[in-house]
A and B are shown apart, each in its own frame.
Chain A
């Protein structure tokens, strides 16, 4: 029997105490993003800029929720939420630190050994460490539990063989948290998986081959492991608990405001391109998307509030991501239709045309990364009690 209440988004009232922080971030972003072109800013969480990440770290805005003992700031998840949504909406280049700040740091803080925490987390909180996620494999995409890359226990550690794919930033990251099979005999594919913390700069036998995306951009990779020897202390968390840990990690990955804010800059530029003399029909379409933006923002805030209160937001987060990626994917087509200008690459056209071109070429990924639309719909269907 369906319980409608379980599907609703609890009201979340932002504490007024967050307002000064928001003002501070906005002023900082106004100032520090001046030199960045609209085209560069339209990359948001695909934008890669170590200097910018270090600046955020210096402000105390990296690893905000992590323990002070490791350089963190022990601030609330809601304070971190303010930083995340403000940087995304402004089109700040957050790609260098994105994965480390969002999930790797919290995962290490939760499952890591004392030595791992001391070694890694301080760098994350300074915005100086780039992480990548070794989950997908050539034959294991949405069906993540079918991963085959093996880590075999040997005398001096773990010997890794296999291939990971679609690994964003693997060619330039410092570390990877990988999901590897440590027991092939286990009768369930969910058992026998473990997570590893891999130092990419210090491990031999790992090769990252960039895979160009449809626009020729190099951000994701195929990563091959050929007898890559990891030290024994590379194991992250408990052997055999990899699946459980990954599910918890995916909750970080799916619940943030990045799931509807990838194209916000385009909506802003569209509003300016249309101007006050736009036709009523064009205004109506932009207005309907603005209504979506406000709606999604309230839904996303609700998810942040649930996380903050220790309530599992899995269902609500999936709904936000489902609706949010549809919103993001609609905007390039709508902007093209309403303004009637051709999308261009960096070598031609106005700022608007370049932003449009860039996002048009990024948009297909919105409903793929971090769980496809189809996987999300399955989770929602389960929430409705029909799966």
Chain B
């Protein structure tokens, strides 16, 4: 890790480990939001890591950003830190000034034209937004005020807000060419969730190792049993695979962007496919080694696993990204498949 990454890792670890525990997570789950933590996160500039220094940000690379995103997963941060990071990056990139407050991402491609009509489902923390930002079918970035939309509340399995946002003949507050592909928000969202899953996988592994090392049965720690060690080793492998592929995708985005045929799409698709695919094993074995306690609301594990079950599907399932990769593979052909893997 470079200096900025070490600094980021230290500050997010300190902040989140001080602020977040199971009582806090339960409270936020009930209330849907924590202004205290949001303010702390914003004050430390964590939502602005990707923004330029001229704009008050850190001018970080995507690789640096991975450290923050992963920590959000590791501590089950119940706020849209990554989403805000992406929204601010999109706006700055398109040359639009960022409004105050939380700017929610609209994950579907909007219609081009002077006004937008759309019903966008599963908008992360839509209800908390002061503004919405989306991309239309010609790749223009469009910004709306929250008041322009009507909203129906929803939530995912972790009770994170996932709201339906309806726009009717809404005239964007601002508009600018993005030079991104029209569905770029879906790709960035997939990258974000892959990075979070990498962090949550690490947390599942840590919790599983700790619990099985502390818990004694038949006169020895559970972790001394080979059957348990086997489960832990599998969790370790799954974590490492998700982590490696997610980081590879963040780095690819630094190197090649998200605008043309040679961009980071392949790595992002592979990262979300691998991450979503790993969720089954991660959740099943973490719960298995925890026994009944892991199945209770009182214990931390469920804050992690319920997120994994939701994030697995958000911004594309393993099947959807797998199909995308499968189409690239068949179009490339067997003889050039290795060149594709090593590109």
Contact, CB under 8 Å: B267 / A287: no
Contact with B along A251-292 (1 / 0, CB 8 A): 000000000000010011111101110101111111110111
Contact for B247 among A11, A85, A274, A384, CB less than 8 A:
A11
Contact, CB under 8 Å: A284 / B338: no
Instruction: Pick from A281, A380, A385 the residue with the most CB of B within 10 Å.
Output: A380
Query: Total A-B pairs in contact (CB under 8 Å)?
Result: 181
Contact, CB under 8 Å: B202 / A291: no
By secondary structure, the A interface counts as helix
Chain A interface size band reads 35 or more
Contact, CB under 8 Å: A4 / B205: yes
Contact, CB under 8 Å: A290 / B341: yes
CA–CA, A318 and B125, complex, Å: 41
Known: A4-B202, A268-B335, A269-B334. A377 touches B321 (CB 8 A): no
CA–CA, A292 and B318, complex, Å: 12
Contact, CB under 8 Å: A323 / B330: no
Chain B interface size band reads 35 or more
Contact, CB under 8 Å: A295 / B232: no
Contact, CB under 8 Å: B224 / A386: yes
Contact, CB under 8 Å: A287 / B243: no
Contact for A302 among B228, B244, B270, B335, CB less than 8 A:
B244
By secondary structure, the B interface counts as helix
Contact, CB under 8 Å: A288 / B322: yes
Write the chain A residue with the least CB distance to B221. A386
Tell me if A89 is interfacial: C-beta within 8 Å of chain B: yes
- Distance to closest chain A CB from B158 (angstroms): 22
Chain B residues 257 to 274 lying within 8 A of chain A, measured CB to CB, are 266-267, 269-271, 273-274
Which B residues are in CB contact (< 8 Å) with A292?
Answer: 241, 274
Contact, CB under 8 Å: A384 / B334: no
Q: What is the interface of chain A, defined by CB distance below 8 A to chain B?
A: 2, 4, 7-9, 11, 22, 26, 85, 89-90, 264, 267-272, 274-276, 278, 280-288, 290-299, 302, 316, 319, 322-323, 374, 376-378, 380-381, 383-387
The 9 listed contacts between A and B (C-beta, < 8 Å) are A7-B239, A283-B330, A287-B321, A288-B274, A290-B270, A290-B329, A295-B245, A377-B234, A384-B233
Q: What is the interface of chain B, defined by CB distance below 8 A to chain A?
A: 63, 202, 205-206, 209-210, 212-213, 223-224, 226, 228-230, 232-234, 236-237, 239-241, 243-245, 247-248, 251, 266-267, 269-271, 273-274, 277, 318-335, 337-342
